[in-house]
Structure 1
Amino acid sequence: MNTDAAEVTGRIEHTVLGPETTPDDVIAVLDAAIEYGLRACIPPCYLELADGYAPTVPLSTVVGFPHGQHTTATKVAEAEDAWEEGADELDVVINVGRLKADEREAVTDEIEEVVAAVPIPVKVIVETPLLSDEGEKRLAAECALEADADYLKTATGFSDGGATVPDVELLAEYMPVKASGGIGSWEEMEAMLDAGAERIGASSGDVIAREYLDQHETATREDVSGWDD
C-alpha cells in the first residue's frame, strides 16, 4: 500500500460494538485492520485482548455507551480504566437529555472531567439523529469545544439515523469530526470527507477499504498506462 492509500485507510475506524460482540468478532476486526491499515473501535471489555493481539492497531473504545446517561463519576472511571487497558482514544456519549434541557454547564463540565482524567484524545458523540434542530447541534459542539475535547462524533449508530453531510459540515465548523452511523461504502465515506470529516467510523470498514483500494489501484494503472502512451 502506498503512502496516499495508507493515509486514506488510516482514517477509517473499523467498528464492532454490538451487544452480541464476541472475542472472535474483535479478532476479525483487528485482522482486517492489520490487513488494510485501519484503526479499530471495540468494546472496552476487549481492550486487553486487542492490545495484546494487535499492539500496532490504534484502538478506540466507548464511554457512557450507548445512551450517555451514566453519572459523571462513572464516565470518568470508565475513561481511566479504558486508558489503563490500552485504549488510544475514547468516544464519549454526551448526555442528550441534559443537552435538550439546555443544561449547558452540566454538559460541558461532564465532558471536561472526562477529558481531564486521561492523557489521550477524547471524541464527543453528540448523537445528531436525536437533536431536533441546528441550535441543539451547535450547543453540543460548543460544549465539547469549551471542554477541550479533541473531536466531535456524529452518532453511536444505535439510534435512528446516522451521519449526514449537513451535520458533518456543521460540526466541522468547530473541531475535527468523526462521521459515524450508516456509512457502508467508499462513495459514502468520500462524501463525508468532502464535507469535512477527518475520520470515519463504520462496521463495514473493511468493505470501504477494499472498495477504495480497488478504485485507487485501477486509477493508478490507468495513469501508468497514460504515461506509456
Structure 2
Amino acid sequence: MDRATLAERIDHTVLGPETTPADVRQVLDEAAEYGMNACIPPCYVGTAAERTPDVTLATVVGFPHGQHEPSIKREEAVTAYEDGADELDVVLNVGRLKSGETHAVSSELAGVVDAVPVPVKVIVEATLLSEAELRRACEAAVDADADFVKTSTGFADGGARIEDVETMSEYLPVKASGGIGDYERAAAMFKAGADRIGASSGVAIVEGFEKE
C-alpha cells in the first residue's frame, strides 16, 4: 500500500460536542492536503461541501447513541445527502439489538439505506456487544443492504478492537474507528481486515506511514 492508497482509506474525523466551524475547516484542509476523506458533524455538511468539493465527505446519522425514532434517522440521512454528504455513518440502536429486536433494527437501517443513493456505514458500537450480539448486528446490516459496518462512535468506553474487526470483516467491509492514533495501530486494523479507518489523527497516521 502506498501513501495515496492509505490516505484515501482514512476518514479524517472531527465529531466532538464542542466542534467549531474552525475545527471543521482545519479537518477539511488537512483532508484535502493529504488526500483523505473527512467525517464531520451534519450541521456543517452544507458549507463543507461547497468549500472543499473534492474531499469525500462523510457525516453521521442518529449520533451518538442511535436512539432516534426511525423516521428521524431517515430524515437526517436525506437532509445530509441533499446538503452534499457523500457517505453516511448511521448508529445502530444497541438497546433494541440487545433486547432481541433484530428485525426492528434491520428494518430501521434499511429505511436509511433506501432513503439515499450514497454508501451507508452502520456503527455497531462493538465494545458494548457480546460476540453473538456483534454477529447479529452485522447480520442486520447485511439484511439492510448497508455498505460497511463500523466499530465505534468513539463515545462509548473502548474503541476499535482487533477481534471485533476480524469478526465484522466476515460480513461486510469494515471501518475501524475509536482509539486509532498512529500508523502502527491503523496498520494492525488493516491487517485484521479493516477497509477504512476513522480517526481524528489522520495526519499522524499518514505521516507515520511515511516514516516506515
Instruction: Give TM-score, length-normalised by structure 1.
Output: 0.91
Q: C-alpha distance in 2, partners of 1:119/1:52?
A: 19
Match of 1:161 among 158, 162, 172: 158
2:127 partner letter = P
Match of 1:13 among 11, 14, 24: 11
Q: Where do 1:65-76 residues align within 5 Å?
A: 65-76=63-74
Residue in 1 aligned with 2:31? 33
8 Å contact kept, 2:158–2:179: yes
How far apart are residue 186 of structure 1 and its match? 0.1
Match of 2:91 among 86, 90, 93: 93
8 Å contact kept, 2:40–2:58: yes
2:64 partner letter = P
Match of 2:128 among 122, 126, 130: 130
How far apart are residue 212 of structure 1 and its match? 1.0
Q: C-alpha distance in 1, partners of 2:70/2:116?
A: 14
Q: Secondary structure at the match of 1:198?
A: strand
Q: C-alpha distance in 1, partners of 2:210/2:44?
A: 29
Q: C-alpha distance in 2, partners of 1:151/1:196?
A: 12
Which consecutive residues of structure 1, in runs of 5 or more, have no partner in the other structure?
Answer: 216-229
How far apart are residue 68 of structure 1 and its match? 0.3
Which consecutive residues of structure 2, in runs of 5 or more, have no partner in the other structure?
Answer: none
Residue in 2 aligned with 1:190? 187
8 Å contact kept, 2:147–2:173: yes
Residue deviations 1:195-221, cap 9 Å, x none? 000000001111111111232xxxxxx
Residue in 2 aligned with 1:148? 145
1:164 partner letter = R
Q: C-alpha distance in 1, partners of 2:4/2:67?
A: 37
8 Å contact kept, 2:3–2:206: no
User: Percent identity over the alignment?
Assistant: 60
RMSD, aligned α-carbons: 0.8
8 Å contact kept, 2:77–2:88: yes
Q: Which moved more, 1:186-195 or 1:205-214?
A: 205-214
Q: C-alpha distance in 2, partners of 1:50/1:205?
A: 18
Match of 2:198 among 191, 198, 201: 201
Residue in 1 aligned with 2:109? 111
How far apart are residue 4 of structure 1 and its match? 2.6
Q: C-alpha distance in 1, partners of 2:150/2:196?
A: 9
Q: C-alpha distance in 2, partners of 1:63/1:79?
A: 6
Q: C-alpha distance in 1, partners of 2:106/2:45?
A: 27
1:157 partner letter = G
Match of 2:61 among 60, 63, 84: 63
Residue deviations 1:3-52, cap 9 Å, x none? 93201111010000001100000000011111111000000000011111
Q: C-alpha distance in 2, partners of 1:96/1:196?
A: 23
Residue in 2 aligned with 1:50? 48
The runs of 4+ residues in structure 1 deviating greater than 3 Å are none
1:77 partner letter = E
